[in-house]
Structure 1
Amino acid sequence: MSANPDRLYDLMPVVYRMRDAEQGYPLRDFLRVLSTQANVLEQDITRLYNNWFIETCDDWVVPYIGDLLGYGLLPEAATLADSGAHAARLGRVLAPRADVANTIDARRRKGTLSLLEDLARDAAGWPARAVEFYRLLGWMQHLDHQHPHRGGTADLRDPGTLQRIGWANGAFDPFAHSVDVRRMSSHHRRGRYGIPDLGLFVFRLRSYPVTVTPAYCLEERGPHCFTFSVLGNDTPLFQRPVAESVPTHIAQEINLPVPLRRYRFAERGADADYASVSAALYGEDKSVLIYAPDWPSKGQGMPVPREALMPADLSGWRYQVPRGRLAVDPERGRMMFPANQRPKGGIWVSYCYGFAADMGGGEYARITPELEHATRYIVHTALPGNDPAKNPLPAGHYASIADALKAWAQAKAADATLRSLIIELAESGVYEGSIDLQLDAGEAIQLRAAERTRPVLRLLDVRASQPDALSVGGGAGSRLLLDGLLVVGRGIEVHGPVGDDSTTELQQDLCELVIRHCTLVPGWALHCDCDPKRPGEPSITLDSTRASLRIEQSIVGAISVISPPQRGEPPTLQVCDSIVDATGVERVALGSPDEAVAYVEASLRRCTVIGEIQAHSIRLAEDSIFTSVVRVLRRQSGCVRFCYVPPGSRTPQRFHCQPDLALAAATTDAARAQETLRVVPQFRSLRYTAPHYARLDDGCCEEIRSGASDESAMGVYHDLYEPQREANLVWRLEEYVPAETDAGILYAS
């Protein structure tokens, strides 16, 4: 198909085109209409052809192809709507394209152990490890048929192997066990170690890379102490999974997104050396890589050689590091140099961290809408052995955000028609400074991360007597968009116009602030133990402005609203697929410092809110979890549906919310009190930077884990559709496991 609108006109003889030009091109305009319709017809024909194949067909065709193959669908698939983005996402979970495509191959391999791992990946999108528990039973071996590597007693002199007993819920347990007569499929208490039992350990956490980013020096501990996290907190390092070489291979630790253990981080093999780092985990395109220019001597440290590293337990920051060596604690994400041999040229690291979803700032693929007719500037930061401030940069490239904004001001002064600017941060480094933006009327600025990067915007405390923040203001129709950033040090402050004149306010006020795929660190910054340094400070302050705020797939701290002098209708606040964390359930996640409620009309969809909500009105709250009470001033409008709202909340009309439904089914006061305690969200962790941050615990009640409008989980991880993935995988296991085998799903992460 050609995009040329004159492709039919170009086929006409030259004589007709000459005559058409003499008459003002009526023939060309007519053929352009025909070309448009021809393009539509060609697109439809191409689409029909692509729908014949599972690799290229539309999502709605996948269940039909599966039906031709006898692929069984869950009953929920029949109730999906024909339109809507979330219905399409759920459809891709209930009818996975890869699982349908591999149906014939799976039937041929039915009964093999490696097939179960492929089913978990294709049907649920989870990497997995399959284990036959009868191979781990203790039994008397015949002397003529010995299996020396099967089972066995524990070697108390090998702490690395002993760690694997409970590691990842026992997925890598190598020891022999006595028989367990309980069935794997028991609804009361599961058994594991029986002859017919087979376990499929699934790993729901993902491993996200961070590439060449500065390490953080903990000066309070010493100039030789560093953390991998640029925020200065402990973070467990994760394995970068290595693809399995053959389909029959059973997944090992190196093939799965698991945290790194000290004993596995050490050199393994017949000549195991626990003072050296494994070559399979350290190096280019591997799990860990460290750059220390000019360390331990001039011209070295790009990267630090593997022979200079040694695994260590740095839990107390007490370790005697030999000269010329670097101690690394992968379980806490810490590094320690010799006290008398500190690095002078900075430290950069590449590593992986664990998280559950594509949310907040990260090096994952994301769709970033482009501003139309925008000028594009690229900003660089220091990398190992290269400082852009000391080297000449090509046109359109700058060494700091301040330089790019200065160039934009000069460009606008030279050309008054310029209205859109894109500032792209090119590397996953740290961009420091203080930013004060004042947008003109109709101006739009997008501050975004480059593809597959995670830039860190560190707002410094440079004015002792004044507050420091990313300060934003603007004229009518102006917009600021933040995409893919991690903001630390301070918050974002949106200030309104000065004066009480309502006309002036409408003409000199920012129109919209959009935050997408960003992390505004709750509490501004973190201590080494992950506690927030400023837990009472908001991440976003709307100061006397009527600007609307939209937050998508982000992690932010508290939101503070200072009402404008001229009120009118409240400005809108839209939060979807995000976490609003006030650093504690007793603090205020959305409120006002000088009034009872924040003067905004809020909409929250698929969110987890840690802290109280104090708002003027809520237009819509859907599939969300509120960990603390919600207080709304205006209850006559709006709706709260399929949410968990704590008792004692004041909200608009509620529909299918918890614990309301559970309390309505209780008949006595004692039963209602019991239901109130039972139907409460239970989280794995509410501490930012934890791999299981804001994730529901597996022991959480079903009313929360599958209480959303489409029977997925409430809260920010709604779109993972974990209940549907689990049900789909159980359905497949029943079809493909060997006869008389009792298979079950075990969560390793």
Structure 2
Amino acid sequence: MHNRPPVPLIELLPQHLRNRDASEGRALEALMGILAGELAVVERDLDQLYDNWFIESCEPWVIPYLGALIGARPMRSFGAGEVGLRSYIANTLSYRQAKGTAAALEQIARDVTGWPVVAVEFFQKLIWSQHVNHVRPDAPGTASVRDAEAARQSEGAFSAACHSAAAGPADGASGRYAIPHVGLFIWRLDAFPLGFVSNAAAGYVGGLVPRASAIGLGFRHFDPLGADRTLFNRPKADRSVAGRVDIRMVPAPLDRRLLHRDLNRLRDGRPSGWFDEAPVLRIRLGGAEVPPERLHSCNLETRDDGGGNPTWRRPAQAGHVLFDPELGRLALHASDEGKAVETSCAFAAPFAIGGGPYDRSASFAAWREEIFVDGAPAPWVIGVSARAQDQTDDVLQGGVVVASLAEAIVRWNAASNAGTRGLILMLDNGSYAQDLGDAAHIVKIPPGARLAIAAMAWPTVERAGGVIERDLRSLAPMYRRPHIRGDLRIRGAAPGAGQEAGRLILDGVLVEGEVAILAGALGSLDLRHCTIGASAAGLTKGLRVISQNGALAVVVDHSIAGSLALGPAGGGLRVADSIIGEDRDLQADPDLLAVVVDAPSADVDFARSTIFGRTAVRSIEAENSLFLGTARAAQRQRGCMRFSYAPLTSRVPRRYRCQPDMTIAEAEQAAAPSSLSDAEKRRLARSVTPIFTASAFPASAFGQLALAAPDAVAAGAFGGAEMGAGFGAGTPFRRANLTDMLDEYLPFGLVAAPLFQT
């Protein structure tokens, strides 16, 4: 109803009045145009008022009011949790009808937390004599010691094994299997699929390119960086409130044994659970997709070939592929080594940062007007695709698209002038290994120029006469994360009188090398949803300003970077919803960590970010952030640190509700009039030190606070949210919603416990 066309009021008047108005300067037409605009506002308001009667179409502010009408318990919003809470309100009446069932518990838990949840009634998993009228063939009294697959799943949500009765807390390993206990198995990590990209007119566009191992071309890693990363399930949608959640609906790590058995069933002509209409893994070899019957799940651990050389297992037949989902590896037959390989799979991460297949429309909207200016000519645009079928210079046949980022940079440098607005669109998930370090491939930004290098779909539209055009109005920043294997070098030209400095935007790309700003006068650099300086060994590089560029302003938003070395750049640095650095050695002394933010000339603003290392800046503003290393600001009379964690040895401006300061202040108040010793203060500070599930890149849970993290950090940000890059995830609110839900929907006499799997 919101697309109702505007009413041209002038056309409702008699023709003779319109003719007379036209002869007298169209004053009446102008008046009717103003009235039509106001009428459109009223009609839109009426349409929205009507839509607000329905939970499916109402505005977010209406959701709690509709919930109050049916007596739904108020729940806390979490990040982008409006969709989940909308489902919670919409399904409340259905949940009440099914109250007390395991299906209702797991479905409502999913709605109020946004996490996949599987409810297991542990009394159903106890060994007990079965009645002949209630035979449970899937619940044997004893487990087979020969079934390794069943043994690995025995403590999981989908285990068929039965246990003897236990006593103890429901969330403890020893007391889980008791009669009144219910377990809610929860997966906190999200699965982000990177796969085959297609376009309606152009067909297949490209897929993820696995990295060749140092052993040889026949041995590859699914991760384009070459790291051993576990593959995760691509969850299927849960389309039924009454149905139960199965293993294909949760973002769990893939099990090589499960896939091995499933592929064997498929080869025997039986239906597949993992390689059905939505296969969990796909591989293209030499331009053609490998059928599931030729895929083999196995253990590809490195072993000795008998001559002291490392090797993996290899397929015995050409055209067959061995893969290991737990190590993220695949192996080819010797005759297939030279063929192109592309994959479709899913990796896991705790947050939607660092680039990936998720929707980046909000990021695109933040800089779109810099490139597309109303009333100005269309920007200079070029696409980049590794597929020869897409590459063309003919704009009437899907161009201009080139084969590499290197060629796109050369063309930009040749075409750009002062004030030029340009787009380099990377259209696939390919890896670009061209050397960008020489003078010809330095990205040059003339004065006043604006250039964006972004991972984005640039759809083709087929016109009459076989003309294929690319539509700039339908750019889609999702499903893509191209990989740049080298360094990216940028040089901004000094502006003349009356000119502005140039600007560069990187959005949605993975840069394995460093982003280096060469001597010049670049005005601003935006790193949005990017991963900078990543490699199989970790975050080894980052952003580096080599010299000059004194007025450079840098924005790092929803990104991951190894380090930020701004040198003389003094235009300001803003880091938001990002992770900088890593901690591979679990260094306990914050004064000994590496410097990961070095901006001695810049005023820095941190928001909702995690900094794994030391920080040295001119002045600092920080909110809801975690500084694992010592933070030092040269000017402490400016700025403020709010709702953040920073080690006691940090030299920062005034702190407001920060840790460990609050914990120490509360202890001093409780001990008054006595005072705490320095040793006691250090002990209290250690008690609120953040604990992470993983602090080294590229672990799946990199940057995620552990469940054992102290509440002062896990719920110490503004409004009770989590400090650091997980601020927007809303974990404390999700867990609180889960507790409230159990109070209302858990059957009387039962005890439930959340059992986090990731």
**More divergent stretch after superposition (308-317 vs 127-136):** 308-317
**More divergent stretch after superposition (428-437 vs 224-233):** 428-437
- Aligned residue in 2 for 1:24: 25
Tell me whether 1:446 sits opposite 2:435 in the alignment: no
Deviation of 1:600 after TM superposition, in Å, equals 0.7
Contact 2:426 2:482 in 1 (8 A): no
- Aligned residue in 1 for 2:514: 491
- Alpha-carbon distance in 1 for matches of 2:8, 2:562: 54
- Aligned residue in 2 for 1:398: 402
Deviation of 1:514 after TM superposition, in Å, equals 1.2
Contact 2:265 2:272 in 1 (8 A): no
Deviation of 1:547 after TM superposition, in Å, equals 1.4
- Alpha-carbon distance in 2 for matches of 1:18, 1:658: 75
Equivalent residues in 2 for 1:660-675, closer than 5 Å = 660-666=661-667, 667=671, 668-669=676-677, 671-675=680-684
- Aligned residue in 2 for 1:34: 35
Deviation of 1:410 after TM superposition, in Å, equals 6.0
Tell me whether 1:710 sits opposite 2:719 in the alignment: yes
- Aligned residue in 2 for 1:465: none
Deviation of 1:272 after TM superposition, in Å, equals 5.7
Contact 2:579 2:611 in 1 (8 A): yes
Tell me whether 1:225 sits opposite 2:219 in the alignment: yes
Contact 1:555 1:579 in 2 (8 A): yes
- Cα deviation digits, residues 631-678 of structure 1 (max 9, x gap): 111000100011110120100110111111111223443543432221
Deviation of 1:538 after TM superposition, in Å, equals 3.1
Pairing partner for 2:284 from 283, 291, 297: 291
Deviation of 1:312 after TM superposition, in Å, equals 1.7
- Alpha-carbon distance in 1 for matches of 2:335, 2:611: 46
Deviation of 1:548 after TM superposition, in Å, equals 0.6
**Structure 1 residues 26 and 129, CA gap change in structure 2 (3 angstroms):** same
Q: Which runs of 5+ in 1 are unaligned?
A: 78-87, 294-300, 461-467, 498-508, 565-569
Deviation of 1:747 after TM superposition, in Å, equals 1.0
**Structure 1 residues 245 and 548, CA gap change in structure 2 (3 angstroms):** closer
Pairing partner for 1:318 from 293, 312, 332: 312
- Cα deviation digits, residues 358-397 of structure 1 (max 9, x gap): 21111111211223234253424234x8473799953433
Contact 2:193 2:345 in 1 (8 A): yes
Deviation of 1:268 after TM superposition, in Å, equals 3.7
Contact 2:489 2:518 in 1 (8 A): no
Aligned residue type for 2:423: I
Aligned residue type for 1:176: C
- Aligned residue in 1 for 2:185: 201
DSSP-derived class of the 2:195 partner? strand
**Structure 1 residues 311 and 578, CA gap change in structure 2 (3 angstroms):** same
- Alpha-carbon distance in 1 for matches of 2:269, 2:695: 35
Deviation of 1:719 after TM superposition, in Å, equals 0.7
- Cα deviation digits, residues 212-245 of structure 1 (max 9, x gap): 3343343521221101111111111111122346
**Structure 1 residues 155 and 274, CA gap change in structure 2 (3 angstroms):** farther
Tell me whether 1:211 sits opposite 2:195 in the alignment: yes
DSSP-derived class of the 2:248 partner? helix
Aligned residue type for 2:115: W
Contact 1:544 1:563 in 2 (8 A): yes
Tell me whether 1:182 sits opposite 2:172 in the alignment: no
Deviation of 1:457 after TM superposition, in Å, equals 3.9
- Alpha-carbon distance in 1 for matches of 2:719, 2:83: 12
- Alpha-carbon distance in 2 for matches of 1:703, 1:283: 46
Equivalent residues in 2 for 1:85-104, closer than 5 Å = 92=81, 96-104=85-93
Tell me whether 1:329 sits opposite 2:324 in the alignment: yes
**More divergent stretch after superposition (132-141 vs 690-699):** 132-141
DSSP-derived class of the 1:710 partner? helix
- Aligned residue in 1 for 2:482: 456
**Structure 1 residues 242 and 90, CA gap change in structure 2 (3 angstroms):** closer
Pairing partner for 2:532 from 520, 524, 532: 520
- Alpha-carbon distance in 2 for matches of 1:163, 1:276: 26
Contact 1:210 1:351 in 2 (8 A): yes
Aligned residue type for 1:521: G
Contact 2:583 2:612 in 1 (8 A): yes
**More divergent stretch after superposition (341-350 vs 679-688):** 341-350
Deviation of 1:111 after TM superposition, in Å, equals 1.1
DSSP-derived class of the 1:562 partner? coil
Aligned residue type for 1:130: A
Contact 1:589 1:609 in 2 (8 A): no
DSSP-derived class of the 2:753 partner? strand
- Aligned residue in 2 for 1:555: 560
DSSP-derived class of the 2:452 partner? strand
**Structure 1 residues 419 and 144, CA gap change in structure 2 (3 angstroms):** closer
Aligned residue type for 2:186: V
- Alpha-carbon distance in 1 for matches of 2:663, 2:332: 56
Deviation of 1:33 after TM superposition, in Å, equals 2.0
DSSP-derived class of the 2:64 partner? helix
Aligned residue type for 1:236: T
**TM-score, normalization by structure 2:** 0.84
**Structure 1 residues 701 and 582, CA gap change in structure 2 (3 angstroms):** closer
Aligned residue type for 1:132: E
- Alpha-carbon distance in 2 for matches of 1:653, 1:514: 29
Equivalent residues in 2 for 1:54-73, closer than 5 Å = 54-73=55-74
Contact 1:93 1:721 in 2 (8 A): no
Pairing partner for 1:343 from 333, 337, 341: 337
Aligned residue type for 1:335: L
Deviation of 1:313 after TM superposition, in Å, equals 1.1
Deviation of 1:134 after TM superposition, in Å, equals 0.5
- Alpha-carbon distance in 2 for matches of 1:424, 1:91: 28
**Structure 1 residues 703 and 583, CA gap change in structure 2 (3 angstroms):** closer
Equivalent residues in 2 for 1:158-169, closer than 5 Å = 158-166=147-155
Deviation of 1:408 after TM superposition, in Å, equals 4.8
- Aligned residue in 2 for 1:572: 572
Q: Which runs of 5+ in 2 are unaligned?
A: 197-206, 303-310, 457-475
Aligned residue type for 1:248: A
- Aligned residue in 2 for 1:538: 542
- Aligned residue in 1 for 2:355: 361
What's the % identity of the aligned pairs? 29
- Alpha-carbon distance in 2 for matches of 1:239, 1:554: 24
- Aligned residue in 1 for 2:305: none
**Structure 1 residues 740 and 456, CA gap change in structure 2 (3 angstroms):** same
- Alpha-carbon distance in 1 for matches of 2:20, 2:509: 58
- Alpha-carbon distance in 1 for matches of 2:355, 2:698: 12
DSSP-derived class of the 1:351 partner? strand
**More divergent stretch after superposition (120-129 vs 249-258):** 249-258
Deviation of 1:4 after TM superposition, in Å, equals 7.6
DSSP-derived class of the 2:743 partner? helix
- Aligned residue in 2 for 1:603: 605
Deviation of 1:289 after TM superposition, in Å, equals 0.6
Aligned residue type for 1:124: T
- Alpha-carbon distance in 1 for matches of 2:4, 2:564: 47
- Cα deviation digits, residues 148-181 of structure 1 (max 9, x gap): 4324322121111111124xxx323332222223
- Aligned residue in 2 for 1:464: none
Contact 1:211 1:350 in 2 (8 A): yes
Deviation of 1:144 after TM superposition, in Å, equals 7.0
Aligned residue type for 1:562: G
Tell me whether 1:128 sits opposite 2:120 in the alignment: no
Contact 1:131 1:199 in 2 (8 A): yes
Aligned length: 682
Aligned residue type for 1:218: A
Deviation of 1:277 after TM superposition, in Å, equals 12
- Alpha-carbon distance in 2 for matches of 1:677, 1:345: 54
**Structure 1 residues 603 and 214, CA gap change in structure 2 (3 angstroms):** same
- Alpha-carbon distance in 2 for matches of 1:91, 1:409: 40
Contact 1:6 1:31 in 2 (8 A): no
Provide the alpha-carbon RMSD of the alignment: 3.0
**Structure 1 residues 276 and 36, CA gap change in structure 2 (3 angstroms):** same
DSSP-derived class of the 1:341 partner? helix
Contact 1:228 1:334 in 2 (8 A): yes
**Structure 1 residues 332 and 539, CA gap change in structure 2 (3 angstroms):** farther
Deviation of 1:122 after TM superposition, in Å, equals 1.2
Aligned residue type for 1:372: F
- Alpha-carbon distance in 2 for matches of 1:40, 1:390: 45
Contact 1:206 1:355 in 2 (8 A): yes
Deviation of 1:141 after TM superposition, in Å, equals 3.9
- Alpha-carbon distance in 2 for matches of 1:664, 1:94: 40
Aligned residue type for 2:352: D
